[in-house]
Structure 1
Amino acid sequence: MESRPESPRPQGAPRWVAMFYRPAAGSWRTAAQSPHRSPVLYALGEMTRTVRARGDEVTVALWGPKDGAWHRYDTPQHRTAVSQPDPEPAPGQPTGLAERMTGRRHQVLMAGLTQAGLHDLSPEDDTTVRALVERLDEAAVRRVAHWLATAGAAR
């Protein structure tokens, strides 16, 4: 098993900072920072999915304030397979507005999972999210995302 490179502590006053390791350069890069945790966690999840969609491995570090000082928080270390895009819809499958609404429900649910601190989803998690998106209407998906965001803020 390859070892995870150690992330340097960010400069300046403690705030929420997401850092990504760049293997080609052998260095860490600040990817997102904010005085609030939620936007950094959201950015961390979105960037992780983007990098994995390109087929690359991701190593991240999450730093934040704790008792007035810097603290490195745990981030998922396991690697997961990148989910494959759905094939083109078969004739008779919904397109247009129905497809956009499904995509919107998926995005809302993924944002809720990210705010709950779940950044590294497995293929089984992705399958479950797709099943929820297909079965729930937009109001129900927004409610579930709200519950997840609230649970993430309580951590």
Structure 2
Amino acid sequence: MGTRPLSPQPAGEPRWVAMFHRPSTGGWWMAAESPYRAPVLYAVGEMSQTMRARGEEVTVEVWGPGEGGGWQSSAAAEASVASASPASPALPDASETSEEPAAAAVRAPDRLAERMQDRRHQVLMAGLSKAGRYDLTPDDLAAVQTLVDRLDETTLRTVARWFAGPEGGH
């Protein structure tokens, strides 16, 4: 087995990003990004399955916010998890919590709602990318999140088409 190519750190503010390696060009490309980890991991699974079905080699690196507020790659996260003491569990045992299961379900985000919100986020980010807007400021990201929270997917697709310009519109 050969050595794994190193993924470049994504640009901009830390968020969850999946970088895939393209062996034919030796380059990396951003396949998914989201403020949430779960949708990026879902996209990694789907993309990996598609690439394997095509007979392509799959090399992926997931980047996300680190403890110090900067970027952290999945390789660094795996190393820190491996070196962590198994005596300190990440989640409390059910016997250690007095919270009812129904209350825990209320706190947990609804998977479908989170997925749809992330889908709207992807649509808007793709439109901004087509418009050449890659390095977004914190104010830009706040505006994106406001649009994602308030608009439905069809409206966001229309806005994204506007960003793409005349060749992207109808």
Mark the structure with the bigger radius of gyration.
Answer: 2
* TM-score, normalised via structure 1 length: 0.47
Q: TM-score, normalised by structure 2?
A: 0.43
